[in-house]
Structure 1
Amino acid sequence: MTTTTDELAISATGLRKSYGGTTVLDGVDLRVPPGTVFSLLGPNGAGKTTAVQILSTLVTADAGTLRVAGHDLATDPHAVRAAIGVTGQFSAVDHMITGEENMLLMADLHHLPRDEGRRFTAELLARFELTGAAGKPAVTYSGGMRRRLDLAMTLVGSPRIIFLDEPTTGLDPRSRHNMWDIIRELVAGGVTVFLTTQYLEEADRLADRIAVLNGGRIVAQGTAEELKRLVPGGHIRLRFDGAAAYERAAGALRDGTRDDESLSLTVPSGGSQRELRAVLDRLDTAGVEADGLTVHTPDLDDVFLALTGHPAGPTGTTTSASASASVAVSAAAEETVR
């Protein structure tokens, strides 16, 4: 069944934005179904934050047909703002007032009646495990607590769509995992999350669909598993304790790459159960058993490197290996985008 534009939580067709002579977004198309996590990946300067700013009505696009929560951004931005919440890279928390006062201030900005604002505040502070710190100045909060408070403030008014622009940047692993749990709970409750991140594990764990943005364009789009299949290099590595077994295995697996020093064979594989079973069946036919076996499938780090020429993380430089990988996956990536 095809989802129409009006039924999508977020849709963008031909989104363009330039600053001076620099094109930041160059014909970006996005489709985000409701109740899902959509992750936009890309290196620094790729245009991720600009995309969020445009879709959340903070910046005006130069061109494109854009709809959020069923409303046209160009003709009905007020309706869009009423349906969304935004948590940016930098916290909107006022550090000089308490967590509770931050929440009540947000309730006032949403023009909630005083009793309803207090109810929202109490419920959200409890939900984000901040009740005990509610009366303390936010300046005393840890980074993880400030991020939770920031997201709690975003939820005042019950937005249907939330834009999270690198929400876990700078958090320790435990706080990051806590934030992931919160995001999962929101989506389980029907909220749509548009997530930008440079932590590829975050996108892999959370996103129903991922788009890779590079140089202002979407260079690939799909599920995490679909994107991983774009990148060559998956293999099965087999190790043998004896030279005789190693030689029999090499004869049975002639497509494998030999490592005579370690007595191991590397056989190309997409990582499927069927391919693994086929390799083991060929070994059984040859009457030999591997003493060690590992399966490597490309991960999102490999995808990111191949498609953008940058390693994952806040910084990176182009490498000759990544340039070669980019060429290898370009045709497949084009098909994924279509």
Structure 2
Amino acid sequence: MTASDTGGVVPALTVADLVAAIPGLAETGIAVDAVSYRTHPGASLTLGDLTDVAEAIRQSTDSGATGVVITQGTDTIEETAYLLHLLHPGSQPVVVTGAMRNPTLAGPDGPANLLAAITVAASPTARERGVLVVMADEIHAADRVRKTHSTSTGAFTSPTGGPVGYLVEGQPRFVSPAPPRHVLPAPVHRPRIGLYTATLGDDGTSLPAIAAQLDGLVIAGFGVGHVPDTWVATLTALAQTIPVVLASRTGAGPVLTSTYGFPGSERDLTNRGLIPAGFLDPYKARLLLHLTLAAGATTHEAAQAFRATANPDEPWPWPTPATTMPRT
């Protein structure tokens, strides 16, 4: 983003412009092949755009790239990173980054974030970790990172578990082991997945009309996964026709399955066929449900995918593709 003639900042810089603005890149010895793929604000990206990016990543890694860096507007980084994570089978790291302060402001953070992202993507220590988000010298896992502030340069955090690593004196240092990888087949359908958030006093009368247009639904419930009791009959009926996933609107911590027992509690809803999202927040639960259904999954297979993301002992419904390069 940079200044426009009509006021405000708009997507105008090429990736060559961004790379040219990075101080110290030449001293790293890292060769960068810079490609301007599309020029859209983060808010205007589509799932189709991102599946195309996933294919471009595959082509790059098959051609010998050590790693890949994606730059984009920060509005949707937390979603972009997780979607690409679910579609990236390679051992090469993919790092998503952006900037909270555009170049027209004092102290823009874009060049530093991009240098850090390139450094991580080139590092052998980042291999086998799938997609990472690097912002403000912190390294975040794609399935946990969230944008938690509208303007702060420290906007990206991982409320559940914290960062998996940091840039220390210009080099990545990981503090958590690489978790099991879950990779989905390429989409063959374009399902319509909705997200509906529980709010105080909502009686749920609009749910049937909304769900009638959908192939799957994510409910962002209160607390550990609760909804008003007036929703129960509707959600019970919906869960018989489409996959309905129960997440927490809090943004951190898990959805429970067996603690509370009142109508509309997590235990009541899972007994009625709703699928618990585990530690996934509603936005990431929506993407996992979308990609499972896009790959042709049944409701049972989609539920198994959510169980596997919550518990590493649970089997993943699809074979894990062989990585394209051995670990070094």
Band of TM-score, shorter chain: under 0.3
Taking structure 1 as the reference length, what is the TM-score of the superposition?
A: 0.24
Structure with greater proportional helix content = 1
In terms of fraction of residues, the more strand-rich structure is: 1
If asked which structure has higher relative contact order (CA below 8 Å, sep 6+), I would say 1
Q: TM-score, normalization: structure 2?
A: 0.25
